[in-house]
Amino acid sequence: MPRDVGARGGGRRMGAADTGTSIVNIDGSTLGELFLPCRACVYWERPGQFREAPPEEAERLKAGWFRATAEQFDPCGKLLYVDDEPAAYCQYAPPECVPGILEYEELAARVDKDGVFISCLFVREGHRGKGLGPRLLKDVIEDLRNRGCKAVETFARDDSDNNCSGPTRLYLAQGFRIIASKASPQGTFSLVRLDLGG
C-alpha cells in the first residue's frame, strides 16, 4: 500500500489482478503522493506565479488549490499506481476553478462553463506507452458521468504529446470531438469535448 492511503483515500480502486494497477482519488491523505514536477506546478492554478514561485511555495499553492477546489468539486484529481508507485496523475475541475484557461484566449472563450475541465493528464517516464494514460482518463470519465456532469473538456495538442493533458488523438480515441483549434508559436491546440449527458 502507498503510505498515507487511509480512510479518506479509501476510494482506492483495484485494477485487474494481473496488472498491479490501482487508482485513488487525490485528497488530503493522498496529495503527498503526487510526484514532481506536477506537485510543484501551478501553471493552471496560479498562471502569474508559474515561473516565479520557488518550488516550496508552488507546492504550498498547489495544495491550497486542491483544498479550496475540493470544497466545491470533490474529488478533483486521481493518481494511478503501478504496484505501490504513483505512475500517472489527472486533475480536473469546473472551469471557474482553473484560471490558466484564460491564457488560451480564443479557445478559452469556447470552454463550456457548465462542464468539467481536465487540466493535467501526466504519465511518468518509464511508465509511458503502456496504456496507463488512456486507462486513467477512462476512470475520470466514468467518475464524472456517475456524478451527473454535463461534459468534460481539455485543451489537447494536435502536433505533439508534449502538453499538459496530452495529445488530441488520445482524446479522439475516447470519443471526444474537436470544438475549436488554434495554431500558435507554442503549437497547435484543440479544445476537445465529450458530452456526458448530465
Q: In the complex, which residues of this chain contact ligand COA (CB under 6 A)?
A: 121-123, 128-134, 161-164, 166-167, 169-170, 173
Q: Min. distance of Cβ 179 from ligand COA in angstroms?
A: 20
Instruction: Specify the residue, 8 or 130, whose C-beta has the smaller distance to ligand COA.
Output: 130
Instruction: Specify the residue, 146 or 160, whose C-beta has the smaller distance to ligand COA.
Output: 160
Instruction: Specify the residue, 15 or 198, whose C-beta has the smaller distance to ligand COA.
Output: 15
Name residues whose C-beta falls within 8 Å of residue 120's C-beta, 6 or more positions apart in sequence.
38, 41, 44, 89, 90, 91, 164, 165
Instruction: Specify the residue, 29 or 176, whose C-beta has the smaller distance to ligand COA.
Output: 176
Distance from C-alpha of 67 to C-alpha of 100, rounded to nearest angstrom: 18
Instruction: Specify the residue, 174 or 181, whose C-beta has the smaller distance to ligand COA.
Output: 174
**CA nearest to 27, candidates 83, 59, 88, 71:** 71
Collapsed DSSP state (helix, strand, coil) of residue 110: helix
Collapsed DSSP state (helix, strand, coil) of residue 90: strand
Distance from C-alpha of 38 to C-alpha of 10, rounded to nearest angstrom: 22
Q: Min. distance of Cβ 10 from ligand COA in angstroms?
A: 25
Torsion, CA 48, CA 189, CA 23, CA 16, rounded to 10: -170
Q: Min. distance of Cβ 122 from ligand COA in angstroms?
A: 4
Q: Min. distance of Cβ 88 from ligand COA in angstroms?
A: 7
Contact yes or no for 62/49 (Cβ under 8 A): no
Q: Min. distance of Cβ 74 from ligand COA in angstroms?
A: 23
